Amino acid sequence: MLGRRARTASLQRGLSLLEVMITMVLLMLVITTFATIYPSGFRLHQKSRMSTKAAQAARALINELKSLPLTREDGGLSLAYLAINGYDPSDPIVEGFPRSEMPEGYTLDSTDGIKVTLYDLASGTDPSVYASMTVTLVYSDPYRGKAEPIKMTVVAGKSWNR
């Protein structure tokens, strides 16, 4: 009786071929799932990073616009000047503006790059003036699969009592 138990116990040690194959199939499923999810997660991270960089650059330009005076008596660069004449980089008055450096691959949109609109909110001897400022940056996303560039627009306002 003792010999039979010893033989049965020795037969039950180790893994069967079926157990090894099931383990390998489960391991392959896990590795395959990870291998398919990882690239899409990486692309999503890259898109998010590019979008954040565009928003930060546009925000820096908006802050520069906010630092400009609403009007200037000498006709220099002001929000009123940009509202009337638009932003043209070849205009000598806007030379050196913006001072913020654009990240590589990001540019101001050719038509809507910097737009300023002035609003008279009240009429009378001391009207409140409000400036709406819009900055639109353009960049390409290599992961998008489309040839058209992506636009990032940031809008802000500035008010002033004359």
d(CA 5, CA 16): 20
d(CA 69, CA 66): 8
Task: Please report, for the chain, the start and end positions of each structural domain, with discontinuous segments joined by +.
Answer: 2-161
Residue 58's H or E segment, with its range, is helix 17-67
Residue 153's H or E segment, with its range, is strand 150-161
Residue 46 corresponds to which amino acid?
Q
pTM of the entire structure?
Answer: 0.72
Largest CA distance in the chain: 115
56-94 residue pLDDT tens? 999 999 999 999 988 888 878 988 899 988 998 888 998
114-158 residue pLDDT tens? 999 988 776 655 556 888 999 999 998 877 777 788 899 999 998
